[in-house]
Amino acid sequence: MLAADIEKYRDHLKGKDRDAIIEIAVENYKKFSELEIRLTENEKSSHEMFLEFDSMKTLLASRKHEIDELRRQITHLTGINISQTQEMFGRSSEKTKDIRAEALNGTDCADPLDEDAPSDEEEGSDPGRSPGKGKNAGFPRSSSGKSHETLHEAMDKLPRHYYYEYDIDELNKKYGEGNWRFSFWEGYETIEIVRQQTYCKVVLKPIVFSTADLDLHRIPYEGRIIPKSPVSSSLLALLLCERGNMYLPFYRIEKDEDRFGVPISRQTMTNWMIYVAQNHFKPVFNYLAELLKLCPYQQCDETVYNAIMELTHQINYVWTHRTSELYDTNQIILYFFEPSRSAEHLLRFFEGLINHVDLSSDAYGAYYTLEDAFDGLIEICGCFMHVRRRPVDSIRSSQKSLTDEELKQLPEMKLIEYISRLYTVENASKDLSSDERLRLRQTDSKEIIRDLMEYVDTLEENNPQYSDKFKDAIRYIKNHRESLERFLNDGNIPIDNGASERSVKPVASIRKNSMFSYSACGAESIMIVLSLIETAKANKAVPYYYLKYLLEEMSKAVIYGHPYNIEDMVPWSEAYRAYEHDQRFNVSISGIPPENEKPRTPKRADIKTA
């Protein structure tokens, strides 16, 4: 109210008597009371509205948080779905060109039915090795790279049998009797194979009558592989190769052998495998483990493999130990079944270690406990394949189709480019010696690593714009920088653990076809067999002949007590080389139809006489 209005109202009251002023005051009081009541009601209503507004505001914030969380989960699950789809139906290549094509097109660029497409091996994960040296240098050794031998080159190494195919009557009918002759012969080559011959071998040993004591004497028979069992080394080696090299379950082998007239139950085959693995093969397996422990460069990995009667742990594992793929020595690949994934296996395997070991592995914490447990005798070397896999998965999990320029600006792609440059150097050094490879790493790779680490230091691992997988990649590099850079100082250390991961594939194949083993003893036995097979393959030995050789030689020692030299039981030994050579020769001359003689052109008299 204005001051003039107040003065005007005061003048109005001055002209009133006492009763009139009282009436005016009462009226004003009534109005004030009504206004006060109305104000109280308004305040009460306003307070309720304020509480309701505050509640709505809180609910809105909660709903916004839930929406953000749901969006994050949708993005995460979408990424998982894309990754699983990629694993099931796409190629597993992490090559830069393939990732770029997928990101630009928004799809997997590979044709899963293309038989001529490149293999799924990791880019650069196969640096290779230099030719063998040392006392075993003459023996053909494994190469983790692909064989470039053609089929026709392989045919030149096979024994050749010549068959002259002709029909005198047909030639006389076509050209006239006496009007033709053989000019020269044109050859057509095919590769023929005969399924293994199955027969019952009966060995007759003489019963000798001695005139000295007038008594009969039996000549002992030492040809049993398993006591009181008719199984032979050839049959058992075949069954074990089908189980451990072709990854077939025994129930399929049982049906296949039954079709060829050899009914052997799967339980019998399992019992045979366990017996020879624990009695014949285990001494060789343990010897190979001791040799591997002495190797200064090793690789290790683990995978799930269950034995249903192993009740101490719900999930069981197989640990893969092997010599480093770059180290110039005979390769050893071993598999150990263990109830759990704890570090107890690693501590037990390396117990009594006296020499330094550079162990390539992933970043599983159990491996890093070895560094402290063995006071620096073991040093863990990191894996750039695991580094690269994280940004690759981050790009693959994105639903966006990007332009080439947008793709170049992604931090994931920049990280992949650095790693791709590292593998380019490694690929260039795969045929070099360790010293030459080290010099190349000290110049080219070291500079790339420096640029890579400087770039990673600029990335904030908690940046909300980054995907969870890319944040994990940043943390992985920062946390394991020392182990990742260790390959720069030694040409024998691989840049990744790819060889070990490839060595896990046979276990995964057995698990896929058989799912599990029944007992821990059965799981241990199949892993011993698999170890001998994969070690034989890594040293260019034929698994069938190697298992057959071990069955024959070790049965003489285990069952009949003959002494043996354990050094002759490895697949690169001269004794085994000679055995395999003889076996190949015997197979090449047995079971093959005889050749026929080269004919001459028949004379007229020959024709008339015929």
pLDDT tens digits along 81-100: 766 666 665 555 566 666 66
Hey, where are the domains in the chain? 17-73
The encoded tokens of residue 450 equal: 């420096």
3-state secondary structure 404-447: HHHHHHCHHHHHHHHHHHHHHHHHHCCCCCHHHHHHHHHHHHHH
Q: What are phi and psi of 537, to 5 degrees?
A: -65, -40
pLDDT in tens, 328-379: 999 999 999 999 999 999 999 999 999 999 999 999 999 999 999 999 899 9
First to last CA, the chain: 149
pLDDT in tens, 495-547: 999 999 999 999 999 999 988 899 999 999 999 999 999 999 999 999 999 99
pLDDT in tens, 305-330: 999 998 889 999 999 999 999 999 99
SS3 578: helix
Q: Kindly write down the DSSP assignment for every residue of 506-526, as one continuous string.
A: HHHHHHHHH-EESSHHHHHHH
Residue 572: the pLDDT is 97
The encoded tokens of residue 30 equal: 């009534």
pLDDT in tens, 19-74: 888 888 888 888 888 888 888 888 878 888 888 888 888 889 889 989 988 887 88
Residue 138: the pLDDT is 39
3-state secondary structure 204-252: CCCEEEECCCCEEEECCCCCCCCCCCCCCHHHHHHHHHHHHCCCCCHHH
Burial of 6 from C-beta contacts in 10 A (0-12 / 13-18 / 19+): exposed
